[in-house]
Chains A and B, each alone.
Chain A
């Protein structure tokens, strides 16, 4: 290769490596702040600020959803299999909200350890299957496990 071109190629390599290194350092410094939500374990460990708008996320504990006799008040528990968090919400849940499925809530942590949500978002998983397969799997095993994925609640 012509020496001039080789030198230019070195400059190209330098740009890419340099930019990658810079990005890696920035993201290393930001790593925690890049997360979209806090899992219940971090809240239990006191890492989330109280009285400020934050997002929490995890799986809805099966059987934990309780609705008020009248009105739109409801509560449910969110878990990451390490810790639980009680969430209070007034409003309409998204269609895909389901017990045992992923959820992200926006709101603030109260001093009594409960989370008051202003907005609840459903987090769906990466598995797609026809209803018949879903039914068949539900009789057998957990569909997420059967398709080799699962709702990645282990992070």
Chain B
């Protein structure tokens, strides 16, 4: 437990975060690109076509991972909001803001690929069914957090307000997830379920698992990159950023 607490405590230090994320990023990026390249090649070129939809189903290898990450990313953002509200850790504010941007991009990706998929399968680009509408609300929540942050002069006030908005928005996540079961929708029910086997042939499912993992890592990489940029901006007056900018490198923290 003490190890966890000291880790969390250190994570609160922007300088420590910057240093440790420099070490993690190359590995995470390598894994993310590797998994995505592997999963996409497998899914797009080697997985069998679907009996009903033919080759158009292959967009699932982007659509489903993007949708997964956009939902999980919202919980991550709201989690950062809780830490920011309760413990007032600056790095949580940074994560909250960075998470909104990356999450909005993932949600947008899921909506666009879904629309492209909808045209050949359903016969329409867009419908206002429960799943698609609640997903659009998610995009607006992310955009709302981004806009709200910009609306305040003080970073602290902005972070408080954004944390509250992101907490209120968590209500939408189970609604998105269960929308296809609670109401009649055009969108089909979930293929990958918490209980029971996926309703997908293993030859098609395995590449999907790889791209989902790849998307989670990609999310992490993008989040860290955005957080690092923001940490540098916030700490621009501090000595270690000056050292970094002047090419003196990042020395280990005194005592840390």
Contacts from A to B (Cβ < 8 Å): 5, 8-9, 11-12, 15-16, 19-20, 22-23, 27, 31, 34-37, 39, 57, 93-98, 104, 119-135, 143, 147-149, 152, 155
Contacts and interface: CB of A to CB of B under 8 A. Distances in A.
Contacts of A8: 85-86
What is the interface residue range for chain B against chain A? 35 or more
Interface in B29-62: 48-53, 57, 60
26 contacts: A5-B87, A8-B85, A15-B167, A16-B168, A16-B170, A19-B168, A27-B175, A35-B185, A36-B127, A36-B129, A36-B130, A36-B183, A36-B184, A36-B186, A104-B122, A119-B124, A122-B122, A125-B189, A128-B57, A129-B51, A129-B204, A130-B48, A130-B203, A131-B49, A147-B199, A147-B200
Given A19-B171, A23-B171, A124-B52, 11 more contacts: A8-B85, A19-B168, A23-B172, A35-B184, A98-B52, A124-B188, A126-B190, A128-B50, A130-B203, A134-B51, A143-B51
B196 interface: yes
B53 A124 contact: yes
A16 B74 CA distance: 14
B145 to A, nearest CB: 15
Contact of B200 (A22, A31, A121, A129): A129
B184 A37 contact: yes
A148 B199 contact: yes
A129 B53 contact: no
A4 to B, nearest CB: 9
Contacts of A131: 48-51
B120 interface: yes
Contacts of B170: 16, 19
Interface in B147-206: 164, 167-168, 170-172, 175, 182-186, 188-191, 196-197, 199-201, 203-205
Contact of B199 (A34, A37, A128): A128
Contact of A23 (B121, B128, B175): B175
B49 A121 contact: no
A149 B120 CA distance: 23
Nearest to B128: A36
A31 B87 CA distance: 38
B183 A128 contact: no
Contacts of B247: none
A20 B78 CA distance: 14
A131 B53 CA distance: 10
Contacts of A22: 171
A155 B184 contact: yes
Given A16-B167, A36-B127, A148-B197, A125 B188 contact: yes
B184 to A, nearest CB: 4
